[in-house]
Structure 1
Amino acid sequence: MLLVVEQLIGASYIVKTGSKIILFLLIPLFYITFIMKKPLKEFLNVKGIDRKQLGISFSLGLLSIGIVLSAFFLFLPWIALDAILNDLMTRLEITPKGFLLVALYITFGNSLLEEFYFRGFLFLNFYRENRKVFAYLYSSILFSVYHVAIFALWFDFWLIVLALIGLWIIGMLFNWLNAKSDHFLNSWILHILADIGVMIIGFYLFGFF
């Protein structure tokens, strides 16, 4: 559904964001509340926060910034920067002036939607049912494939395949971080920091430095 919204119908960025809120947040919340009939606090396990695990997530997040930036400059000769910038400004309607707000939303808002859905709603739900292997594979594969809707026009075929494999590995790592804690705050912290690395690339593309 998001692939259709992102690539086929030419929806505005606001419509795409609204679609994610409905699919990644509102529908799962409805399912948790009225189908599973669980209090949200119980489902999210807000009491299971461990500072040591959060510290590990933060450290991995700082490392991820370096990995994201290093990978970008390593593969720079094979990345069509003009095509990406054109796609951002035409299809997604993101301008240099508005990029700061978009960057803040992606870093904190969009990362929360993705972590709540892929790790909180999918992974932890199946993991708690002792379907651990399925939980790891299913949520990670969906997390990886979902991103094709975003960057399908940015890279050639082999870079897309490489990106899918990388995102699958990242999804597995995110799941591992959350398995012991039984909540998705660990992966959200790492996701925020990884997105900061991506947003630095965005500022580079828009000529801020």
Structure 2
Amino acid sequence: MKHVLLFLGPTIMIFLGLQVMSSVPVTFLLFYGWLFVVPLLDMIVLKRNTWRDTFRQMGLGINRPNMYHGILTGLLFFLTMVLAGYFFHSFLFDKDDLQKLLVQWNFSGNLVVWLILVLLVINPFLEEIYWRGYLFKKLERKLTKRTMILLTSLFYSLYHFLSIIPLFSWPYNFAMILPVFLAGMIWGYMRDRSKSLMGSIVSHILADSGIMSVYLLFLK
């Protein structure tokens, strides 16, 4: 039951913030609060690990080949999203509906710059630390590596449905979850192969930069 809650907790936070409260700032507080507090309580407070041991167990160490892979995959994600946005944004999005939805979610005005910074700086670190750092460590003796990568990728993709479905036009909104799942699988594989999370974080930062570039270039 505890593991089910760990898998579903981030999705519940997104649901409460977006679907119930219709606020991106509130969603960020709930979602990133969960991603930060749960590993902190478990590994530092309950297990009484040192910060150094916690960072090591979650893979927060530099591995040069892993960093190269992170940069290469991240650049590929970035270019793919910008090119897709350039050629297909009129099919993927209804710009007027999207703008209305973002205003409804409080993703507007002076808050936008700060929310974008959160997505570019905080989001990649906390998502990777939670899914492919903390949960990998939590599950490593309970599941095979393939099952662990698959499950973390599935549940990582799950809460993206809650934001992707309203943002994209039908039927592309359902199709857009596939790249999220594939990215999770790639980042999980990188983490497993290298025992380092840093390449996945770099790749994730570049991927999120691609998403924000599409928004700023073609949708704002």
Structure 1 and Structure 2 fold alike (TM over 0.5): yes
Residue 175 of structure 1 aligns with an amino acid whose one-letter code is G
Identity of aligned residues (%): 21
Q: 1:58 aligns with which of 63, 71, 76?
A: 71
Match for residue 197 of structure 2? 184
Q: Please, which runs of 5 or more residues in structure 1 have no aligned partner?
A: none
Q: 1:39 aligns with which of 31, 50, 57?
A: 50
**1:86 is the counterpart of 2:97:** no
> Aligned pair in 2 of structure 1 residues 47, 84: CA closer, same or farther (>3 Å)?
closer
Q: Distance in 2 between matches of 1:29 and 1:127?
A: 18
TM-score (norm. length: structure 1): 0.86
**1:29 is the counterpart of 2:43:** no
> Aligned pair in 2 of structure 1 residues 28, 142: CA closer, same or farther (>3 Å)?
same
Q: Please, which runs of 5 or more residues in structure 2 have no aligned partner?
A: 1-11
Match for residue 3 of structure 2? none
Alpha-carbon offset, residue 130 of structure 1:
5.5
Question: C-alpha root-mean-square deviation of aligned residues, in Å?
Answer: 2.3
Q: 1:170 aligns with which of 160, 164, 183?
A: 183
> Aligned pair in 2 of structure 1 residues 87, 148: CA closer, same or farther (>3 Å)?
same
Residue 125 of structure 2 aligns with an amino acid whose one-letter code is L
Deviates more, 1:182-191 or 1:157-166: 157-166
CA contact (8 A) 1:115 1:187 kept: yes
CA contact (8 A) 1:49 1:181 kept: no
Match for residue 114 of structure 2? 101
Match for residue 160 of structure 1? 173
Determine helix, strand or coil for the equivalent of 2:21: coil
Deviates more, 1:155-164 or 1:168-177: 155-164
Deviates more, 1:178-187 or 1:47-56: 47-56
CA contact (8 A) 1:143 1:171 kept: yes
Alpha-carbon offset, residue 205 of structure 1:
4.3
Aligned residues: 206
Match for residue 14 of structure 1? 25
Per-residue displacement from partner, 1:87-135 (whole Å, max 9, x unpaired)? Answer: 112223322x443322221101122121111111123432365531221
Q: Distance in 1 between matches of 2:132 and 2:145?
A: 13
Alpha-carbon offset, residue 206 of structure 1:
5.4
TM-score (norm. length: structure 2): 0.82
Residue 19 of structure 2 aligns with an amino acid whose one-letter code is L
CA contact (8 A) 1:24 1:117 kept: yes
CA contact (8 A) 1:65 1:196 kept: yes
CA contact (8 A) 1:124 1:135 kept: no
